[in-house]
Amino acid sequence: MPEKGEQAQVPEASPACSDTAWLEQVALRYLARFEAPRERVRRLLLARLGRVGGTAAGLAAVEVVLTRLVARRLIDDDRFAQMRARGLNRKGRSLRAIRAILQDGGVATSTAAAALAMLVEEGSVSDLRAAAVYCRRRQFGPFRSPAQRQTLRLRDVAALTRVGFEASIACLVIDAATAEEVEAWALDPTAG
Contact 44, 27 (CB under 8 A): yes
Beta-carbon contacts of 59 under 8 Å, excluding residues fewer than 6 positions away, are: 46, 49
Q: What is the mean pLDDT of residues 17-33?
A: 88
Give me the sign of the Cα torsion angle 138, 141, 145, 148: positive
* pLDDT tens track for 160-170: 999 889 999 99
User: Rounded to an integer, what distance in angstroms lies between the CA atom of residue 125 and that of residue 118?
Assistant: 9
Report which of residues 188 and 13 the model is more confident about.
Answer: 188
3-state secondary structure of 1: coil
Beta-carbon contacts of 74 under 8 Å, excluding residues fewer than 6 positions away, are: 28, 31
Q: What pLDDT is attached to residue 10?
A: 43
Domain extent listing, the chain: 19-71, 77-122, 127-187
DSSP annotation string for 41-64: HHHHHHHHHHHTT--HHHHHHHHH
Report which of residues 45 and 2 the model is more confident about.
Answer: 45
Residue 26 clears pLDDT 80, i.e. is over it: yes
* pLDDT tens track for 102-158: 999 999 999 999 999 998 888 767 788 888 889 999 999 999 998 899 899 999 999
